[in-house]
């Protein structure tokens, strides 16, 4: 059910605005609307409240979060954090910003220097490691590199697939250096070739410019490496690398020490500033006069008294919450607040994938909570499968429920759906397909003269599926009429709603008249009823054409198609049984018993996983494609209270 909402106007003295906003933020029940835009003709025009502190808080929050990001993570000391929160709360809101600025002053420069040093050092280590690899590889060709006075050495790296380009580079360099260069190559790994270029130093600038312009990956060794033997360079390089690694460790240690001292306070300040920023962000939704402020919003009826009580206890009669008279036009704008029992929450989650109902519409969640498990059970319908699905859902919920948001509601959905699966499994006499029946443990039940063995009773299953479809669609259309009736209270919608009601009523009569005609044709009802059936069909078509025009009469075909679509319950259910039979027969064909059991178990497991997904998807689809459009307009805005926690 959707919770009743009340539109409220909060009035109070402007001097207490910040404190009142803070109280409302802590209570977390009001869904705010822009009060500065709302004024009646001839009334006082309200000015927007400007939040002066917002920019300062945002800037400080960003700095604090930056520091928090740099400090290495350690397990939080919750007792210390609570103490800090208490101290800051006692001193008041201003002290949070003051303390944040002190902490920023103390830590910002220090952490920035440390992290810059660390990044530079890590970059240096990466470069030194790269030199190491290349120099080790070109060490064997050192003898070929001429040691000439006034010559410079550089190393270029070429990808193996572009080896041919070396010839072009050599040709060009020869021209630039007037034949005073030499290129010696050695492979570094499977993909890269290192080429040592020795050239006259007086052409240094031209050579480097050329290499840079051609986008050649040049490994420029540091100046102190030049004119040294490669062995010496290797040793020097390693020394520098070790020194850099040591320095990184020292920097990390310094950061760790800072984190030990400051992390908890920084975390608390980040949280408090974030809260404060959230509070202040909404200030421009408030209206003000010279001495008072006005805020508008929605509060669920069940939270109204507690909110009023809290404000009264803190501010006495200086703050007033006025309940605005609920006109249909106003209620058309009310936010949607689901207020269903806990077991229906997973269905709300599923519905949130499409669109939320408007406030005045019927909440589809309870209907969804009845029919989704029913469809799932009818499709899967196997005792063993039901228990296994229950086990898998409980296991996944326990293992991943905390870490992944979506696992929790989806597994709860599977847990609920597993019970009708077990019940229908008992009715269909299925335990791992026909395994239970073959063992003599159970048999399909006989209800209304039909033995509900799903393979033998294909036609009864088809009729049952279609009958469920007829009921479901008529229910949807009836809810649609109720929704339109409610919407009609809003005068601007009267004409439109009247037509919709006629159209939906016409659709219901079409279904009933088609059933009567079919019944008369196959003679399960007296043939004479065919004439009232025809009259009903004509009346229904007239209503539909009045409601939605000639185009709407074509909708009758899609209505029939929607009902026939419920045949999928039988069709997918049958495929599930057949796959279970295949598993049993395939397992039985194996000569070694244990192999047969394993093969059958694997196919059954595959069938279960497939059916968990397919049965959910099709049950969901029947609701959102066939059922929901018959009554739900959607497009409702969800109740989003101003506060720390989401009560919705």
Partner 1 sequence: MDFGMPIGAGIAFGLGALGAGIAMSRIGAAGAGTVAEKPELFGYMLILLAIPETLAIFGFVIAAMILIM
Is 120 or 633 the residue whose CB approaches partner 1 more closely? 633
For the bound state, the minimum distance from the C-beta of residue 525 to partner 1, rounded and expressed in Å, comes to: 21
Query: Between 466 and 534, whose beta carbon lies closer to partner 1?
Result: 466
Name which of 1 and 617 has its Cβ closer to partner 1: 617
Closer to partner 1 by CB, 241 or 623: give it: 623
**Residues 330 and 26: beta-carbon distance below 8 Å:** no
Look at residues 155, 274, 285, 290 and name the one whose alpha carbon lies nearest to residue 225. 155
Rounded least distance, CB 465 to partner 1, Å: 9
Closest contact distance (angstroms) between CB of 629 and partner 1 is: 9
Q: How far apart are CA 543 and CA 536, in angstroms?
A: 10
CB of 454 to partner 1, least distance (A): 12
| DSSP E strands, 15-145 | 31-33, 47-48
Which has the closest alpha carbon to 626: 565, 546, 550, 536? 565
CB of 616 to partner 1, least distance (A): 11
d(CA 497, CA 237) in angstroms, rounded, equals 82
Positions in the binding site for partner 1 (CB under 8 A): 353-355, 458-459, 462, 561, 564-565, 567-568, 570-572, 574, 617-618, 620-621, 624-625
**Residue 580 or 628: which CB sits closer to partner 1?**
628
Among residues 216 and 455, whose Cβ is nearest to partner 1? 455
First-to-final CA distance of the chain? 12
Local structure of 382: helix, strand or coil: coil
Dihedral, 201, 204, 206, 207 alpha carbons, nearest 10: 100
Instruction: Give burial (CB, 10 Å; 0-12/13-18/19+) of 218.
Output: middle
Shortest CB 614 distance to partner 1, Å: 10
Q: How far apart are CA 276 and CA 18, in angstroms?
A: 10
Q: What is the SS3 assignment for 4?
A: coil
Three-state SS at 492: helix
Q: In whole angstroms, what is the distance from residue 89 CA to residue 101 CA?
A: 16
Residues in the chain: 648
CB 419 to partner 1: min, Å: 25
State in angstroms the smallest separation of the CB of 640 from partner 1: 16
- Cβ burial, residue 137 (10 Å; 0-12/13-18/19+): middle
Of 18 and 555, nearer to partner 1 (C-beta) is 555
Structure tokens given for 380: 């899967």
- Shortest separation between residue 458's beta carbon and partner 1, angstroms: 6
- Provide the minimum distance between the beta carbon of 562 and partner 1 in the complex, in angstroms, as a whole number: 9
Min CB(470)–partner 1 separation in Å: 16
Which lies closer to partner 1 via its Cβ, residue 509 or residue 572? Answer: 572
Looking at the chain, the number of H-run helices and the number of E-run strands are: 19, 12
Euclidean distance between CA atoms 114 and 122, whole angstroms: 12
- Comparing CB distances to partner 1, the nearer of 44 and 354 is 354
Q: Give the nearer residue to partner 1 in terms of CB position, either 115 or 564.
A: 564
How many other C-beta atoms lie within 10 A of the C-beta of residue 591?
6
**Non-local CB neighbours of 600 within 8 Å, separated by 6+ positions:** 432, 583, 584, 586, 587, 588
Q: Which is nearer to partner 1, 179 or 352 (CB)?
A: 352
Least spacing, CB of residue 471 vs partner 1, in Å: 19
Residue 20: enclosing H or E segment and its boundaries?
helix 17-27
Q: Which string of b and e fits 88-119 if b means at least 16 CB within 10 Å? A: beeeebeebbebbeebbeebeeebeebbeebe
Q: Smaller CB distance to partner 1: residue 241 or 611? A: 611
Quickly count: other Cβ atoms within 10 Å of residue 183's Cβ.
16
In the complex, the smallest distance separating the C-beta of residue 571 from partner 1, rounded to whole angstroms, is 5
Closest to partner 1 by CB, 262 vs 566, is: 566
């Amino acid at each position: 059910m959707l919770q009743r909402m009340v539109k409220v106007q909060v009035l109070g003295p402007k001097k207490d605005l910040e404190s009142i906003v803070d109280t409302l933020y802590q209570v977390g029940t009001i869904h705010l609307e822009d009060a500065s835009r709302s004024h009646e003709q001839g009334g006082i025009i309200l000015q927007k409240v400007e939040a002066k502190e917002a920019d300062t808080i945002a800037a400080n929050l960003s700095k604090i979060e930056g520091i928090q990001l740099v400090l290495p993570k350690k397990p939080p000391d919750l007792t210390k954090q609570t103490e800090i929160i208490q101290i800051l709360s006692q001193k008041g809101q201003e002290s949070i910003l003051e303390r944040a600025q002190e902490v920023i002053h103390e830590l910002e420069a220090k952490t920035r220097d440390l992290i810059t040093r660390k990044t530079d050092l890590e970059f240096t280590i990466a470069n030194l490691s790269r030199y190491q690899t290349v120099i080790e590889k070109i060490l064997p060709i050192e003898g070929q590199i001429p040691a000439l006075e006034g010559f410079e050495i550089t190393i270029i790296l070429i990808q193996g697939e572009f080896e041919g380009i070396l010839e072009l580079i050599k040709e060009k360099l020869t021209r630039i250096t007037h034949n005073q260069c030499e290129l010696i190559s050695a492979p570094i790994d499977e993909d890269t070739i290192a080429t040592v270029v020795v050239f006259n130093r007086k052409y240094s600038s031209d050579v480097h410019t050329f290499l840079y312009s051609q986008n050649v990956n040049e490994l420029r060794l540091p100046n102190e490496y030049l004119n040294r033997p490669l062995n010496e360079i290797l040793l020097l390089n390693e020394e520098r690398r070790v020194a850099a690694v040591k320095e990184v460790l020292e920097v990390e240690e310094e950061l760790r020490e800072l984190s030990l001292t400051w992390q908890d306070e920084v975390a608390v300040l980040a949280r408090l500033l974030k809260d404060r920023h959230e509070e202040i962000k909404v200030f421009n939704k408030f209206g003000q006069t010279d001495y008072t402020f006005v805020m508008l919003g929605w509060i669920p009826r069940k939270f109204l008294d507690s909110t009023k009580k809290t404000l009264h206890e803190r501010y006495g009669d200086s703050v007033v919450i006025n309940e605005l008279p609920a006109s249909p036009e106003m209620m058309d704008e009310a936010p949607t607040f689901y207020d269903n029992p806990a077991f229906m929450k997973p269905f709300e989650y599923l519905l949130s994938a499409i669109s939320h109902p408007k406030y005045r519409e019927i909440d589809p969640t309870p209907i969804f909570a009845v029919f989704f498990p029913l469809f799932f059970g009818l499709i899967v319908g196997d005792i063993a499968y039901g228990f296994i699905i229950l086990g898998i859902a409980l296991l996944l919920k326990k293992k991943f429920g905390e870490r992944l948001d979506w696992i929790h509601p989806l597994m709860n959905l599977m847990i609920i759906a597993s019970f009708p699966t077990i019940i229908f499994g008992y009715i269909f006499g299925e335990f791992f397909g026909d395994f239970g029946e073959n063992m003599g443990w159970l048999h399909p039940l006989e209800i209304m003269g039909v033995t509900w063995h799903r393979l033998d009773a294909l036609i009864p299953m088809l009729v049952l599926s279609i009958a469920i479809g007829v009921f479901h669609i008529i229910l949807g259309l009836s809810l649609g009429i109720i929704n339109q009736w409610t919407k009609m209270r809003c005068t601007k919608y009267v004409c439109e709603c009247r037509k919709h009601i006629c159209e939906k009523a016409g659709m219901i009569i079409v279904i009933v008249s088609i059933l009567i005609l079919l019944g008369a044709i196959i003679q399960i009802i007296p043939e004479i009823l065919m004439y009232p059936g025809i009259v009903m069909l004509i009346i229904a078509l007239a209503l539909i054409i009045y409601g939605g025009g000639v185009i709407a009469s074509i909708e009758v075909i899609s209505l029939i198609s929607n009902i026939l679509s419920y045949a999928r319950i039988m069709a997918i259910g049958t495929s599930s049984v057949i796959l279970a039979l295949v598993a049993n027969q395939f397992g039985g064909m194996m000569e070694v018993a244990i192999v047969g059991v394993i093969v059958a178990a694997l196919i059954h497991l595959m069938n279960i996983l497939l059916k968990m997904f397919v049965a959910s998807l099709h049950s969901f689809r029947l609701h959102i494609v066939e059922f929901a459009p018959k009554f739900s307009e959607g497009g409702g805005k969800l109740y989003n209270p101003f506060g720390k926690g989401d009560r919705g």
